A and B are shown apart, each in its own frame.
Chain A
Amino acid sequence: MRELNQRSAPLYEALEKFRKMRVVPFDVPGHKRGRGNPELVDLLGEKCVGLDVNSMKPLDDLCHPSSVIREAEALAAQAFGAANCFFMVGGTTSAVQSMILSVCKEGDKIIMPRNVHKSVINALILNGAVPVYVNPEVDNRLGIALGMEPEKLKKAVEDNPDAKAVLVNNPTYYGICSDMRSIVNIAHSHGMKVLADEAHGTHFSFNENLPVSAMEAGADMAAVSMHKSGGSLTQSSLLLLGDSMNVDYVRQIINLTQTTSASYLLMSSLDISRRNLALKGEQAFSRVMEMAEYARGEINGIGDYYAYGKELINGTSVFDFDVTKLAIYTRDIGLAGIEVYDLLRDEYNIQIEFGDISNILAYISIGDRLQDIERLVGALYDLKRLYKRDKAGMLSAEYVAPKVAVPPRKAFYSDKISLPLKEAEGKICTEFVMCYPPGIPILAPGELITKDIIEYITYAKAKGCSMQGTEDFEVERLNVLK
């Protein structure tokens, strides 16, 4: 392999070279550089469709990389301070699931907070590992779950010395970071691996004023959403490995479920984005932080909105805060976050990342311009003027702590019956219920259905949250254990 140079982008360069070769295709994809699908060419452009090719010798093979993909992965590993890196084409979901499948087998325990993305619990259904939840502290005003506290982790580790791994969000969707270094110390001193869901923390590796990245803190694996803050195409992602991991075994695990026709559009976008991050990330994220902090100040200046930031830091459940996350508490204008989310889109032509019961999240990134920030701030200002109302009767809690009765896989595959939501109290749920986004389950398979949870689901539906996860498309019935 050539010496690593972050200025190069081997996969991208190989594709450029390949394009100029004008090879006659008698392989898949069958659209043959778009000629068989002119409408698609109209939509995506000739260049884009022309690069939608299959793996072949000059372009390497994601399932068994030996040349340009291998080099591109090595460069990404170096850029992120990891020992090894895998390009992932099934979203960060596939990276998260590969992490879990790599360290746990059926019946193995894995310690994690409950406010995880659904992909984590899905992995437990696939392989039968058993979650041990460390209940996160909840900020009662904002209604959001906070980080993993080392003291609570210590207790969980001592109570479950046979657990194989600890999974942690770095950060949460809302930007809350846990004390990664302490978590790594505690887990490693008990022989457990540390897996980080770093879907919302791609940028951490590229600016020293951001919270510590999982790799830097010594974690064993991290799932990184390059397509979120990293700038690559939707669905492309990275799986990072520390030097404690057996890279060839992890590749076998990935290949259990990964496509054998990986998209070169996705992979080349990872390669180019990695180069950008390595060369220009520091400066780019300084600007993103500046913009987010500016917006935060302006929004807090409007009054009645609360755009929270580093003042939340308390040394334990909020060890650090990712200032690029612009989360705004909206209940003081009498509107649920999801209502503000809908108004911004319908009335102001502004699409934000998500709205939940009490908050909205505007995603600020390397693609933003100050004039767009002004539009968001102006819209929030006008929205308050026109739509503010009494906040009586609003539900507050975003996070309802679950009561786990049965492991997820057992619950999911057991005999079940379908009941109307209202009659399900006291039963054990066998499926997910969540708002998407953010995709953090309200109920996961194996959890007790309580009055609070039914009330929450009913309220969230009435406010217009997009509920999903249940077999019943309208989420009016729940599958419960027979």
Chain B
Amino acid sequence: MEMWFSDVHTPNIKLNIRVKKQLFSERSDIQQVDVFDSEDLGKFISLDGEVVFSERDEFIYDEMVAHVPMAVHPDVKNVLVIGGGDGGVAKELCRYPEIERIDVVEEDEMFVYVSRKFFPETAAGLEDKRVNLYIQDGLKFIRGKVGEYDLIINDSTDPFGPTEGLFTKEFYGSCFRALNDTGVMVYQHGSPFYAEDEEECRKMHRKVFRCFPVSKVYQAHIPTCSSGYWLFGFASKKYHPLKDFNAAKWKERGIPTRYYTTNLHMGAFMLPKYVEDILLAAEKDR
């Protein structure tokens, strides 16, 4: 028997993954949640038919959204992770002893349930004493919070699905308000390659650029995402991701990683020309 899962990247391009077994399939109040086991990606979760998380490449996301800001901001105590129900980002953050509080806000309880059930190693990040898990709409959670956080990580990946509210001007505005004067926001910036993704990427940068004094974009190679090439955003009220980057201090910590290195940190911000052009155009677009 052959069973293939198709992750549709554009109406004309899809990534096919041979599935060994379907482990879970249910509809939550918010979305369709499925878990599969595969030969080459290990177990993976799909939400509304799109891969959001696979055993094989999730470390890239988690390391890139956690270590990049942590190597720049000198004193992070309070962190908010939005959409981090799998626990992967919290797990990386827990490696930093100076962090006092990690609030994780996940809209879909079923996503947390399947993460704990099928990916206990990753979900272990949710069990740390410093982690508070809130099952709530991210936009609602952050509304009304003022100056509470040093770092906000928006781990939601899809600007088209149920999490579209987390890619809006009002959301970035609320994040700005919820951060203190030196706060940093890191967020999923999508893939710049295919036309539809590019448009969203452009709009996202336009919104954040107009909201934060510092707004930079960095990259990573993530096999399961659209085109395999993914961007992150680094928005901040004070710190610059390269000028304020303290490589020596971070190395001293001796945190084990598989993707992130201090060299890669520098390189991640060196973008291809076509991406630079997209960002520049978005900055000029008033």
Binding site for B on A (CB under 8 A): 298, 301-302, 347-349, 370-372, 374-375, 377-379, 381-383, 385-386
Contact = CB atoms under 8 A, between A and B. Distances in A.
A170 B144 CA distance: 37
B180 to A, nearest CB: 16
B140 A386 contact: no
A370 B169 CA distance: 18
Give the secondary structure class of B's interface: helix
Contacts of A372: 165
A300 to B, nearest CB: 13
Nearest to B172: A382
B168 A374 contact: no
Interface in B165-190: 165, 168-171, 173-174, 177
A382 B169 contact: yes
Contact of B174 (A298, A370, A378): A378
A379 B172 CA distance: 10
Interface in B118-169: 137, 139-140, 143-144, 162, 164-165, 168-169
A378 B168 contact: yes
Contacts of B174: 378, 381-382
A347 B286 CA distance: 11
7 contacts: A298-B140, A371-B164, A371-B165, A374-B140, A378-B139, A381-B144, A382-B170
A298 B137 CA distance: 13
B102 to A, nearest CB: 23
Contacts of B30: 371
A386 B177 CA distance: 11
Nearest to A376: B170
A381 B143 contact: yes
Nearest to B162: A371
B59 to A, nearest CB: 30
A298 B139 CA distance: 12
Nearest to A377: B143
Contacts of A374: 137, 139-140, 165
A348 B165 contact: no
A302 to B, nearest CB: 8
A297 to B, nearest CB: 12
Contacts of B165: 371-372, 374-375, 378
Contact of B168 (A298, A302, A379, A386): A379
Interface string B10-35: 00000000000000000000100000
A26 B256 CA distance: 76
Contacts of A371: 30, 137, 139, 162, 164-165
A382 B139 contact: no
Contacts of B173: 381-382, 385-386
A347 B139 CA distance: 17
A375 B139 contact: yes
B137 A348 contact: no
B254 to A, nearest CB: 41
B140 A385 contact: no
A348 B140 contact: no
Contact of A348 (B144, B164, B169, B177): B169
Interface in B186-203: none
